[in-house]
Amino acid sequence: MFGFFEKKTSGFSVKWYRKLAEQGDADAQYNLGYMFENGQDTPQDYIEAVKWYRESAEQGGAKAQNNLARMYYEGQSVRQDYKEAVKWFKKAAKQGHATAQNNLARMYYEGQSVRQDYKEAVKWYRKSAEQGYAGAQSNLGVMYETGQGVPKNYAMAHMFYNIAAESSHKGAVEKRNNVAEGMTASQLRKAQRLSGEWAQTHS
């Protein structure tokens, strides 16, 4: 249910990015961190990745904040630290970064370094889902299907699974079909109507 990955954005070399990064360019710092993390045009080096993600993150780079949080979450070249992960996910999420919003929601869902709070999880899943992030849409479906943080509502669950499925999110079709088995014809019609309304307001 996490969505950690954030790709670099262009095709310059490590040498070029390092030159810009050392001059304080936050985007170059992020891209350099990504290249070190993934071994692109340079040997893989998580320590260097964390270093450059941090440089960019401290300047407010949301993509770097999300990826730095992931490094702390997974314990890649740093001590695994969910508190630091939450800190950086939250910074990126508050800037509107959809992947970070989904990741922060998951931390609240699991109660990892924060008090478990399904309502807070729903809040951040919704913010991410409204930006078109399919993983968050599927996760919202789970919350509505199980009644965690929101009243149980199969029509809403079906709607969010369906929206995620339209983006080819893995598992969303199966979840949608499973919840549909317990729904009435009226509920299914409502779910279809809700899907259409969502598509109109979030296109």
3-state secondary structure of 189: helix
The better pLDDT of the pair 3, 95 is held by 95
User: pLDDT tens digits for 85-111?
Assistant: 999 999 999 999 999 999 999 999 999
| 157/163 Cα distance (integer angstroms) | 10
pTM: 0.92
User: Can you tell me which residue has the tokens 């030159």?
Assistant: 19
Q: What is the pLDDT of residues 172-186, one digit of tens each?
A: 999 999 999 999 999
**pLDDT for res 1:** 46
- From the number of C-beta atoms within 10 Å of its C-beta (0-12, 13-18, 19+), residue 70 rates as buried
* H helical segments located in the chain: 14-22, 26-38, 46-57, 62-74, 82-94, 98-110, 118-129, 134-146, 154-166, 172-180, 185-201
4 vs 194: CA distance, rounded Å? 29
d(CA 61, CA 202): 26
**Mean pLDDT confidence for 52-59:** 98
Separation of alpha carbons 29 and 13, rounded Å: 12
The C-alpha atoms of residue 174 and residue 63 are separated, in whole angstroms, by 31
Which residues have a Cβ under 8 Å from the Cβ of 188 and sit 6 or more positions away?
A: 155, 158, 180
* Mean pLDDT on 105-123: 97
